Structure 1
C-alpha cells in the first residue's frame, strides 16, 4: 500500500499552466533562493540541472510546481523522487523555508540519510509527506502532530526506529499512515482508536511491533489494515465487522489468537491473510457471500471445522488452508461423518 507521490500533482498543475500566458518570471524570489539552497544541500544532483538561477522556477524546474491561482506564485509542490544522489545527504534543512508547501516527496532516494527534521512542523500548510525507500533513520518525531493539515504520511521501507508517535490521532484530517518496512518497536498506542473519521489506512507491516491490539481500535472503520510480519499478539478481531467497509486485512506472521468464527466480515473484503498465527475456531460461512474476495490465506493456525463451500471460495487451493488443527472439506480431505 502506497500513496501517490507529489509528482502526479505536479504534472496536473504543469498541464494547467500550459494555458496560462507567461509575461515575466513568476517564481517568488524568496522561494527561488530557497530552492537553489536545497539543490546545494543535496549536493547538486544531475537530475536538478533544470534548476538554473537564470530561469523561472515555476517553469519546468524538475519536481517543482507553483500556485497559479493567485498572484503569489509560491512553490506548493516539491517532488524530489529518484534523484540518484551521488553521495549520502540529509533532508535539506532549507526545505522548511517553503511556507506554502502542500506536498513534499523524497521517495526512492537510498542515499538520503539522517533523521526526519523536527522543523518540518514549520510547514503549517503541508498536506502530503512521502519518504519511502530511503535510508532515513531515527524516530518519527512527535512534532508532526503540529502539522494540522496533514492528510497522508508514507515513510515506508526506510530505517526508522523507536515507537509509534502517540500524538498522530490529533491530526484532524489525517487519512492514513504507511510505515511498513522499518524497525519500529513498542506497542500500538491506545490513542490510535481516536483517529478522526477520515482515517482509513493503517499500514505498519514488517516492523518489530509487539504487544496487544488496543480495544479502542474497534471504533475505526478502516479500508486497509496491514500489520503482517510483526510480533503482535492477542485479539485482533477489532478490525472485523459486517458494518465496516474494509477492503484488506493482512495480519500474517504474528501471534494473534482469537475465534475467527465469531467475527463479522465486511461485504467489500477483497484480501484476508491470517497465516502463521494462533487463530482458532471455524471459518465463517459469510466468506461465501463475498463478491470481491481474491486473496485468502489462513494457513498455519489452529482452525477446525468444514471449509465453507461456494462463492469465491472455489478459487483457493490447499495452500490457503494448510497446517491447521482440523480443517476439512474441499480442497482438503473430506470431513469425517
Structure 2
C-alpha cells in the first residue's frame, strides 16, 4: 500500500510537469537566450522570476511575448533599474531574441561601454536607453537597423559627432540624444528625415555652430536644443505642428517679434540667449504648460491675456526693457 501511494504521487508529479511543459507558451530558443542574458548581467536578484522551469511569457520581469499567431515569441524586453552586482556591457546575447522589436535599458549606472554590434542583427522598432554609462560614439552599425522608428540614448556618455547617416533610416520618426557629451554641429542632412518626423532632441550636450536652414523642412512636434552652444538664427524652427520648443542656454540671436508662433505650442523656453524684439501677441492664444523668455534682449509690453500672466516675473526677468504684468507697469510704451 505504501509503495502504491508513492507510485501514484510520482505519477502525479510527472503528469503535472508534463502538463506544465505542454502548456508553456515561451519559445524555448527565446528562453535560452533570456537565461544567457541574465547570466551576462551577473544574475541580478531583480531577475529572480527568470527561472528555467517557468514560462518566460508569464511573469518574467520585463519580458513581453507576442500573440499565439506570432508564436508567442519575445518581442519586448524592458530592463529597468536592475541591481547589477558589477559593471557589465549591454548583453550581446540580446541578438538571439530574433523577434525582438522593443528594447529598453533604463536607470542602470552599471551598464557600461559601447553598444554591442550584435544589435544590428535585430529588427528593432524602438531602442530606448537612458540613464546608463553607455559610452563611445553613436555606432554606425545602427544604420543597418532599417526598421527603427524611434532611437533614444539619453543621459549617458556618448561622445563624438552626430552621424550623417541618421536620416537614411526609412521609418525613423524621432530621436533623442539628450544629456551626453556630443560635439560638433548638426549635419545639413538632418533636414531630410523621412516624414512624418516628430521628435528632435539634443539638449545638454556640447554641440556648436549654426542650425542648418534645412531643418525648417521637418515641421517638428518636439524640439529640444537647450544647454548647448548653438548660435545664430533659430526663428525658422517654429513649425505648424510644434508643441515643445526649448532653445534656452545657447547663443541664438533673432527677432522674436517677427516669428509666427503656432497655436499648437505648449512648451516655450528661449531663456539665456541674445534674442531681441517684442513678444508676439499670438502668445496669448497658447495653452502653455511651460514658458520662459528670461535673460534675453526683449523689449516692449508683455501681451495681456491668455496664460502669459500665470507665469511669475522670473519667466520674463533680465531682458532689455520688457514691462507690464507680471513685471512692473510700462512707462514708455
**2:168 pairs with one of 161, 167, 170:** 170
Q: Which residue of 1 aligns with 2:309?
A: 314
Residue pairs, 1:122-161, within 5 angstroms: 122-123=121-122, 125-161=123-159
CA contact under 8 A between 2:219 and 2:238: conserved in structure 1? no
Within the candidate set 288, 298, 301, 2:296 is matched to 301
- Secondary structure of 2:23's partner? coil
Post-superposition shift, 1:317?
2.5
- State the partner residue of 1:185: 183
The one-character-per-residue Cα deviations of 1:3-30 (angstroms, maximum 9, x if unpaired) are: xxxxxxxxxxxxxxxxxx9943332222
- TM-score when normalising by structure 2: 0.90
Q: Residues 263-303 of structure 1, C-alpha deviation per residue, up to 9 Å, x if partnerless?
A: 1111011111110001111111111222x123221111111
Counterpart-to-counterpart distance in 1, 2:317 and 2:64 = 52
Q: Which residue of 1 aligns with 2:263?
A: 267
* Alpha-carbon distance change, 316 to 57 in structure 1, aligned in 2, over 3 angstroms: closer
Q: Is 1:277 aligned to residue 289 of structure 2?
A: no
Q: After superposition, where does 1:38-53 map in structure 2 within 5 Å?
A: 38-53=37-52
Q: Which has the larger Rg?
A: 2
- Name stretches of at least 5 consecutive residues in structure 2 with no aligned partner: 1-19
Asked if 2 retains the 8 angstrom alpha-carbon contact of 1:173 and 1:198, the reply is no
Equivalent pairs counted in the alignment come to: 313
**Mapping 1:1-337, distance limit 5 Å:** 23-70=22-69, 72-123=71-122, 125-241=123-239, 244-290=240-286, 292-333=287-328, 334-336=330-332
Distance in 1 separating the partners of 2:21 and 2:261: 55
Q: What's the offset of the Cα at 1:316?
A: 2.4
> SS in structure 2 opposite 1:104?
strand
Q: 1:330 to 1:104 in 2, by over 3 A?
A: same
Q: Which residue of 2 aligns with 1:15?
A: none
CA distance in 2, matches of 1:71, 1:82: 29
TM-score, normalised by the number of residues in structure 1: 0.89
Contact map agreement 1:142 1:168 (CA 8 A) in 2 = no
Q: CA RMSD of the aligned region, Å? A: 1.7
Specify whether residues 198 and 329 from structure 1 end up closer, same or farther in structure 2 by C-alpha distance, changes over 3 A only.
Answer: same
